[in-house]
Amino acid sequence: MSTADSQTPSPTPSTTVTTFAQRLDAVQARIERACAAAGRDAAEVTLLPVSKTFDADVIREAVGLGLKRFGENRLQEIAQKAPLLEDCNVQWVVIGHVQTNKAKEVAKYASELQSLDRLALAEALDQRLKAAGRTLDVLVQLKTSPEESKFGLDPAELIGFLETLSGFETLRVKGLMTMAVLSDDQAAVRACFEKLRDCRDQAARHQIKGISLERLSMGMSGDLEWGIAEGSTEVRVGSALFGKR
């Protein structure tokens, strides 16, 4: 586990923060403090706003503050919001579990998929992306938590999976993603993030052709500090930005 000091995650969101702009400032300040505590440059960590369940008007406000990429769990929500935000050039990032029969919608709407976790989905996406004449950036989701509710590829299968993905020209692997155990126990949460980082390091040593593992998407509203301490390059933040759902 990283020896970098980490701060205890802040309450989400503060009751004194009432506007989206203020919440955005507060989250960016948390990222900067966490990076400073870990001895990292804040420019190394990207913020992905998670807009699931919030309507197009709220996203439009966020776009007005300079945000362009938005994480969504469900393809149905993206399909509903996308036509209302066509003028905003929103980039939709799918972060939720995707059923194989939803590959067509991913190919149509998503600029990126962060939850690729099985070969059947990769094959379905490849077929749909070829038909659409496009490629898709993807992150492989690993299951680092013992919780049955969490999705993800078994870490032991990662290298073989990446070797298979290297044969799909439509899928551009950029890194890994995970969801930590839902807990206030810092050691338990950070162990999940440490596992992802270690898996990335092991896979990188294989130097699989066409596979990039520079990105680690880990850390959310309640644990982004711990994710950053363990090497996250992107935190997925919903409630701390948009408020409680």
- CATH number where 26 lies: 3.20.20.10
Give residue 244's pLDDT.
82
Report the distance separating Cα 223 and Cα 175, nearest Å: 20
Strands 69-72 vs 46-49: parallel, antiparallel or unpaired: unpaired
* 78 within domain boundaries: yes
Instruction: Tell me the residue range of the domain where 40 lies.
Output: 20-237
Give residue 93's pLDDT.
98
Report the distance separating Cα 150 and Cα 179, nearest Å: 7
User: Within a 10 A sphere around the Cβ of 78, how many other Cβ atoms?
Assistant: 23
Residues contacting 180, CB < 8 A, separation 6+:
144, 145, 188, 189, 190, 192, 193, 218, 219, 223, 226, 227
When divided into structural domains, the chain yields a total of 1
* 32 within domain boundaries: yes
User: Amino acid identity, residue 165?
Assistant: L
Summarize the confidence of residues 219-226 as an average pLDDT: 97
Identify whether the C-beta of residue 15 lies closer than 8 Å to the C-beta of residue 24. Answer: no
The model's confidence at residue 5, banded by pLDDT at 50, 70 and 90, is low
Give residue 18's pLDDT.
75
8-state DSSP, 153: B
Summarize the confidence of residues 53-58 as an average pLDDT: 95
* 194 within domain boundaries: yes
* 8 within domain boundaries: no
Report the distance separating Cα 107 and Cα 104, nearest Å: 5
* 7 within domain boundaries: no
- Above 90 in pLDDT, residue 245? no
Give residue 12's pLDDT.
47
Give residue 33's pLDDT.
98
Identify whether the C-beta of residue 78 lies closer than 8 Å to the C-beta of residue 55. Answer: no
| pLDDT tens digits, one per residue of 85-128 | 999 999 999 999 999 999 999 999 999 999 999 999 999 999 99
Residues contacting 70, CB < 8 A, separation 6+:
48, 49, 50, 51, 59, 62, 90, 91, 92, 93
Among 237, 244, 213, 192, residue whose Cα is nearest residue 71: 237
The model's confidence at residue 15, banded by pLDDT at 50, 70 and 90, is very low
Give residue 238's pLDDT.
96
- Above 70 in pLDDT, residue 233? yes
Give residue 166's pLDDT.
97
Give residue 3's pLDDT.
42
* 139 within domain boundaries: yes
* 5 within domain boundaries: no
* 77 within domain boundaries: yes
The model's confidence at residue 14, banded by pLDDT at 50, 70 and 90, is very low
| pLDDT tens digits, one per residue of 145-200 | 999 999 999 999 999 999 999 999 999 999 999 999 999 999 999 999 999 999 99
pTM over 0.95: no
- Above 80 in pLDDT, residue 13? no
